[in-house]
Amino acid sequence: MSVKVLIPTPLQKLTNNQATVECNGGTIGELLNSLEQSCPGIKARLCDDQGELRRFVNFYVNSEDIRFLEGTNTPLKDGDEVSIIPAIAGG
Predicted pLDDT of residue 75: 97
User: pLDDT tens string for the chain (91 positions)?
Assistant: 799 999 999 999 999 999 999 999 999 999 999 999 999 999 999 999 998 999 999 999 999 999 999 999 999 999 999 999 998 776 6
The CA distances from residue 29 to 16, 25, 46, 89, 91, in Å, are: 22, 8, 11, 26, 33
Which helix (H) or strand (E) segment holds residue 31: the answer is helix 28-38
Nearest to 58 by CA among 88, 31, 80: 88
Predicted pLDDT of residue 91: 61
Predicted pLDDT of residue 88: 78
Go through the domains of the chain in sequence order and give each one's CATH number: 3-86 (3.10.20.30)
Q: d(Cα 84, Cα 21) in Å, to the nearest integer?
A: 11
Q: 10-26, pLDDT tens digit by residue?
A: 999 999 999 999 999 99
